[in-house]
Amino acid sequence: MTEFLSFLMNGVVLGLIFAVVALGFTLILGVMQVINFTHGILFALGAYFAFSMQKHVGFWLALILAPLLVGVVGWLLERLVIHRTYGGNPLFGLLLTFGLAMALEEVIRMVWGKAGYSVAAPRFAAGSLDLGFMIYSKYRLLLAALAILIILLVWLFLEKTPYGAIIKAGASDAEMVMALGKNLPRMRTFVFAIGSVLAGVAGVIAAPIWSVRPTIGTAILMPAFVIVVLGGIGSFWGSVLAGLIVGVSTSVSVMFWAQISDIIPYVIMTAVLLFRPRGLMGEKSVLEV
Amino acid sequence: MLVVEKMNTFYGDAHVLFDVSLEIREGEVVALLGRNGAGKTTTIRSIMGLTPPRTGRVIFKGENIATLPPYVIANRGVGFVPDNRRIFPTLTVRQNLELARKQGDGGKNGWTLEGIYEHFPALKEIEDRKGEVLSGGEQQMLTIARTLMGNPDLVLLDEPTEGLAPIMVMEVMKIIKELKEKGETILLVEQNSTLALGISQRAYILENGHVVYSGPAEDLIRNDEVKQKYLGI
Ligand SMILES: Nc1ncnc2c1ncn2[C@@H]1O[C@H](COP(=O)(O)OP(=O)(O)O)[C@@H](O)[C@H]1O
Ligand SMILES: [Mg+2]
């Protein structure tokens, strides 16, 4: 029973990281209609930046600076190349970001090497905490709290600020937003940077529980994609819910039958889409009549 | 206020507007009439920069805006009320309005949220409702009010009565009449030419992308031959 509880908790923590990554992914997809294959690499960069920085500036400062740096990388990618694909065939954006992702993964290998690093949890969060019903890793609890905080901040930003309203409006009718006087190219760049920051911050907080390798970007991208589709494209809480479902089902299935844990997310996605093509909480999909 | 000179607009290779020229003076309501597919919406989209003209000039307040992006044109003072309303479905009525507020001076009539609610009391009552649940009439009110929130010097109104119940049609016409009395400058596109001519000073008729008639609205009201030929009434 305690073993099950700890797998369950690990699944929730994993799901919360997935949710943060997926929110950035779905934001970019929703506003720019770009399937952003660089999203995983931005996650990896967050982890690597934090790994390199923490020795010098400590955990908290790295938690702020590394995602901002990833945001700058995202901003540059968008300004230099990705913005050219908007409004064209969605395949262009997909292929371009796919190429960029492979190139950036090579850059990571060149800078940090092929080997993996393990990142230590900050000292104040080392060890375990007795929760009464179970004993659980302090760092994972911190990670869960940070992920929940980030999710709430993003929600508040989108729902309660004027800029969030413009982004939501842009996701439903970008041309109309522009006709009302909003600088659409600038808004898109900003959304891309925000999405990148979310990928980056997820990478930073996940680094201590995974080893940091060049391939973690690719490893996080597929679950993120599955989550966005499962939750319903453009749905905020759909992504959070689907993130938790994928995290928990992956983690708990390891306990019973480790070999299937990798395919569980796809099985769930397929099953849901068969009955509900729009995903759990998405708007009516183009697949539905 | 606005002078359009020999505007030619294309959708891809399809030539849709041919040397369209028209003029709107400050404080005027000008009707733009014509059958379905004549090019009325395209004319408005071209002025707004959404489908920029390939050749020709669009002079607004003395400057050529034909090559500017739509958001710059909007911020120069052109307001666009689209034909299918295009309310943001996931935003509330109030958010739809506040989003359209612009920086800078209040324009001629200085519309504020309070002013809009005073003028459209029905919108105040539903201010917390999401755009997606509004009725057609409510959406039409909101799309006009939203554009006014940007305090435009010129309002481009594309078929504001389309698809509305008769009682809402009268309500929308009443609003446009009030805007006229407040001195707003309006280009009014309408299928219902009788209604449009009733509140316009001048009118243009488009046919297959060409301007085929222009003159005072009163003349056109009495000119059954032209109406029969180009508007089918
Ligand atoms: N997006 C588009 N792509 C190609 N052709 C279009 C498009 N929109 C309109 N048209 C064509 O342009 C012409 C003018 O259309 P439009 O300006 O919408 O007319 P109106 O508003 O007077 O009904 C029509 O022949 C229409 O088929
Ligand atoms: Mg039209």
- Summarised one tens digit per residue, pLDDT across range B179-196 is 999 999 999 999 888 999
Residue (of A220, A170, A152, A128) closest to A29 by Cα position: A170
State residue A175's pLDDT score.
94
Residues in Cβ contact with B198 at an 8 Å cutoff, skipping those fewer than 6 apart: B173
Which listed ligand is nearest to B207 at the C-alpha?
1
Q: CB–CB of A166 and B75 under 8 A?
A: no
Instruction: Give Cα B156 distance to the centre of its chain.
Output: 2
Q: CB–CB of B146 and A181 under 8 A?
A: no
DSSP-derived 3-state class of residue A222: helix
Quote the pTM value: 0.91
Q: Which amino acid is at B56?
A: G
B90 compared with A289, residue with greater pLDDT:
B90
Side-chain-facing half-sphere of A4: CA atoms under 13 Å: 2
Average pLDDT over residues B140-161: 95
Backbone φ and ψ for A72, nearest 5 degrees, come out as -65, -40
Report residue B214 as tokens. Answer: 């222009």
Q: Is B65 in the pocket of ligand 1 (CB under 6 A)?
A: no
- Between CA A247 and CA A244 the distance in angstroms is 5
- Between CA A185 and CA B211 the distance in angstroms is 34
Looking at this predicted complex, what is its ipTM?
0.93
Distance of CA B162 from the midpoint of ligand 2 (Å) = 10
**In whole angstroms, how far apart are CA A183 and each of A2, A163, A282, B51, B167?**
54, 12, 27, 17, 37
State residue B108's pLDDT score.
60
Taking contacts as CB-CB distances below 8 angstroms, the residues of chain B near A166 are 99
Give the one of B48, B75, B98 whose C-beta lies nearest to A162's C-beta.
Answer: B98
State residue A132's pLDDT score.
84
Residues of chain A numbered 156-185 and touching chain B (CB < 8 Å): 162, 165-166, 168-169, 171-173, 175-184
A3-A20-A267 Cα angle (round to 5): 60
CA distance B227 to chain A (A): 33
Among A177, A180, A184, A235, pick the best mutation site for testing chain B contact (most B Cβ within 10 A). A180
DSSP-derived 3-state class of residue A154: helix
Nearest CA to ligand 1 atom 1: B11
- Between CA B70 and CA B78 the distance in angstroms is 9
State residue A233's pLDDT score.
84
Q: Is B13 in the pocket of ligand 1 (CB under 6 A)?
A: no
State residue A257's pLDDT score.
84
State residue A282's pLDDT score.
81
pLDDT averaged over every residue in chain B:
93
Asked if the model's pLDDT at residue B69 lies above 60, the reply is yes
Q: Are A242 and A33 in contact (CB under 8 A)?
A: no
**In whole angstroms, how far apart are CA B230 and each of A97, A243, B7, B34, B207?**
51, 59, 21, 7, 7
Residue pLDDT, tens place only, A211-221:
899 999 999 99
Instruction: Give Cα A8 distance to the centre of its chain.
Output: 20
Backbone φ and ψ for B76, nearest 5 degrees, come out as -75, -15
Weakly modelled stretches of chain A, pLDDT under 50: 286-289
Residues having C-beta closer than 5 Å to ion ligand 2 = B 41
Listed range (A74-78, A263-267, B91-95, B100-104) with the worst mean pLDDT: B100-104
State residue A119's pLDDT score.
87
State residue A287's pLDDT score.
45
Which listed ligand is nearest to B160 at the C-alpha?
2
CA distance B133 to chain A (A): 14
Q: Is B11 in the pocket of ligand 1 (CB under 6 A)?
A: yes
Q: Point out which residues pair with B92 in neighbouring strands.
A: B130
Average pLDDT over residues B120-135: 95
Report residue A139 as tokens. Answer: 């760092």
Distance of CA B83 from the midpoint of ligand 2 (Å) = 7
- Between CA A224 and CA A201 the distance in angstroms is 15
Q: CB–CB of A180 and B150 under 8 A?
A: yes
Burial A61-71 (b: 16+ CB within 10 A, else e): ebbebbbebbb
Taking contacts as CB-CB distances below 8 angstroms, the residues of chain A near B155 are none
State residue A125's pLDDT score.
86
Pairing state between β B2-11 and B55-60: antiparallel
Q: How confident is the model at residue B173 (pLDDT cuts 50, 70, 90)?
A: very high
Q: How confident is the model at residue B105 (pLDDT cuts 50, 70, 90)?
A: low
